[in-house]
Amino acid sequence: MSDTLYLSLWYPNLRLAALPDKMTAVLGTFSAHGGEAGVYSATVWPVSWKESPVFQHVYGGGERGAGPQQAVEAAMELLHDDYAYEFQIGWNLWELETAPNVDPRWARGPRLVRVTGFGPLFDEGTYEQDGHIRIDFGDDEAFLEVDADLDAFSARHIEENVRQLVDLTSALEKGSGATARVLWSELGESLAQRLAARLGMRN
């Protein structure tokens, strides 16, 4: 069963006015670690996830995407304590493509990652648990590929995805000045433990 993978980042004594700079730094880090330079979309949520967005702009992927600073400035022009600011950006990983009557093949392509900055009062202070900034990587299938035959060729692609994830999370923490980071999953299972089990490395 696939699980959703998140990275939460916290900053000491973060003031709301400093959040745009942190968001710009986080989004700008992706291009050096398998991501795209442009932001695909920006959405602003008021009060809680149950409310309708007060701002939404789709720039498009690839070269049509907006630069991180441009996207952040547009979405975060008016800062509110009870708003969440969500951006989508492309991140390239190896994934196993399967189709009927066709041999499976590994292909590298983008998936949309959601990067969200939380005002301190959004959804009753969700930042305390989810981080001042939360990155939603989507399902963890690209790091496990449970349906793939785990030969040396497949293992190499999975290893490259995992290495890229590790490098990115370290760079996000350092580049944005975070003092704490947690990589976690929706079901509460450790990716490292699942990967070890997948590779037959359980003690």
Tokens of 78: 């008016």
What tens digit of pLDDT does each residue of 87-131 get? 999 999 998 888 888 888 889 999 999 999 999 999 999 999 999
What tens digit of pLDDT does each residue of 35-93 get? 999 999 999 999 999 999 999 999 997 778 999 999 999 999 989 999 999 999 999 99
Q: How far apart are alpha carbons 113 and 58 in whole angstroms?
A: 14
Q: How confident is the model at residue 203 (pLDDT cuts 50, 70, 90)?
A: very low
- The DSSP annotation for 36-63 comes to EEEEEEEEEEESSTTSPPSEEEE--SGG
Q: How far apart are alpha carbons 18 and 8 in whole angstroms?
A: 17
In this prediction, residue 9 carries a pLDDT of 98
Query: Which burial class, exposed, middle or buried, applies to 31 when counting CB atoms under 10 A from its CB (0-12, 13-18, 19+)?
Result: middle
Q: Tell me the residue length of the chain.
A: 203
Please give the span between the terminal C-alpha atoms of the chain, in angstroms, as a whole number.
Answer: 22
For residue 203, give Cα distances in angstroms to 105, 155, 162, 199, 200. Answer: 31, 20, 21, 12, 9
80 CB contacts (<8 Å, ≥6 apart)?
46, 119
In this prediction, residue 68 carries a pLDDT of 97
Q: How confident is the model at residue 196 (pLDDT cuts 50, 70, 90)?
A: low
What tens digit of pLDDT does each residue of 140-183 get? 888 887 666 778 888 888 889 989 999 999 999 999 999 999 99
